[in-house]
Structure 1
Amino acid sequence: MKELCSFSTVEDFWRYFNHIPRVSQVFYDGDTKKRVGPNNKVVEEYSLFKKGIEPEWGDSKNQTGGEWFWRCNLDSDVLDLFWTNLVLAVIGETLEDPTSGAHVNGARVLDKGKNYPIFKIELWIDTKDATVKEKIRARLVDIIAHGLPAHKMARNHPKFEWKDHS
């Protein structure tokens, strides 16, 4: 895993985000594992985490919580929409209830495809509190599918499951 960038302003975020390939441009499409960059590397995940938090279970900030995850087969346009919505929700802090504090550590999308395109979308949080977890999950389901046309909603309705990190 390699850090591509870090940012502290909205302007910096958009400067980087607009120049990083969409996940559908680098993940397995059912035909080939795509290779990118001068070293011809296969990209298997995109991560967005708060500064100082590694996208690893062993990071002390992640050990106290877990992740909401969804393993899914999505069309490329839907995958891009869901990832963009999740990224914007994480940096805009719209997934969290202001009364319960900041619990979101970061998000990942992983290419799990071998013989067909399958992806895993994750939201990592620092708590196992049932009430906080459920509020975040409910917001996650609403936010991630924002902008999805109604005719695509039934097939692509997010079904997140919980996994503890300890």
Structure 2
Amino acid sequence: MTSTTSNDKSKSTLPEPAISASVQAISDSVDNLKLKDKTDKSDLEEGEIKEEDISPEDMKTVFDDATGFNVKHPLFNAWTLWFDNPSKKSSGAHNWLDDTKEVITFDSVEEFWGLYNNILPPTHLPQKANYYLFKRGIRPAWEDEANADGGKWSVQFPREKWRDRIDRLWLDTMLSAIGETLEGDLSEDATNDLITGVIISTRPNFFRLAIWTRQTTSVNTELTQEENDLHERIERLGKIWKHDVLGFTEGQKLGGGLATEVEFVGHKEGERKQRARGKIVA
């Protein structure tokens, strides 16, 4: 695929939310980078440089030099980008996942930007195509063990009205996911994360953004204390996404026509078409 994003600028021109998410990804990984001081050169991968071999003045990140950086910043998790284009379904495919292709797996800030600068933005994708960015080892399917008992936050935007903004919203959503800024500090319990992946879908009349979670909650039953804590975590995730990432104000209504609110529903409820009874609105 051909890139439409220029990478010849040495300084970042991203808006503040995107920069904040990226910087968070770096700051959360500084301790991991410093551990390289304790490794022998023989343990380094090709192209890696020990921190002690570079003076502070010579250290360049992707934010300083988009092509000549010499320091990589590892992410908290590795992520895999998947892509499917229903208009080119193979005749022998048994289900939609057969035509969903793994593009690449990355685990550093620099590798993410290398990927992003060389793929088409959502507004240039064919209709009915999807990008799926999921943590490594998790397939972008309800049937995957990590997603089976989960749900999703999603929002839908009319295609023509939001065409000039959707690429930025998708970028900011990806940065917030890989920067782990949607759930707070998970450093003490990495197994307690909620998010499994983020998705953008292009359709003839709208774009849909979604965040998938490995657990779900309900608004229709009395909750135990543990269930209530989970409910609050899921609700807080949606509010952070709506307000801090997508940029909408507290209480702002988005629905009407092809637009929806920022809504959460469990995968099983969605599959049974019970959205009206089980959804949460951020």
Structure 1 residue 67 and structure 2 residue 152: aligned? Answer: yes
- The equivalent of 1:51 in structure 2 is 136
TM-score, scaled to structure 2: 0.47
Runs of 4+ residues deviating >3 angstroms:
153-158
The one-letter code of the counterpart of 2:236 is K
- Structure 2 gaps, min length 5: 1-99, 217-229, 269-282
The answer to whether the aligner puts 1:107 opposite 2:198 as a matched pair is yes
> Which residue is equivalent to 1:76?
163
Secondary structure at 2:101's aligned position in 1? coil
1:7-33 per-residue CA deviation (whole Å, 9 max, x = no partner) reads 0111111111111111111144xxxxx
For residues 38-77 of structure 1, what are the alpha-carbon distances to aligned partners after superposition, in whole Å with 9 as ceiling and x for unaligned?
Answer: xxxxx61011000001110000101121001112214222
Q: Using the TM superposition, give the Cα deviation of residue 97 of structure 1 relative to its aligned residue in structure 2, in angstroms.
A: 2.8
Report how many aligned residue pairs link the two structures: 145
Q: Does 1:88 align with 2:214?
A: no
Which has the bigger relative contact order, CA under 8 A and spacing at least 6? 1
Judge which range, 47-56 or 67-76, deviates more.
67-76
Matches within 5 A, 1:109-148: 109-113=200-204, 117-128=205-216, 129-146=230-247
The secondary structure found in structure 2 opposite 1:82 is helix
Cross-structure match for 1:36? none
Cα RMSD after superposing both structures: 2.5
Runs of at least 5 residues in structure 1 that lack an aligned partner in the other structure: 29-42
Find the residue that maps to 2:201 and give its secondary structure.
Answer: strand
Contact 1:70 1:159 in 2 (8 A): yes
Aligned-pair identity in percent equals 26
Cα distance in 2, alignment partners of residues 97 and 61 from structure 1? 20
Of stretches 94-103 and 4-13 in structure 1, the one that deviates more from structure 2 is 94-103
Larger radius of gyration: 2
Instruction: Indicate if the aligned counterparts of 2:201 and 2:207 stay in contact, CA closer than 8 A.
Output: yes
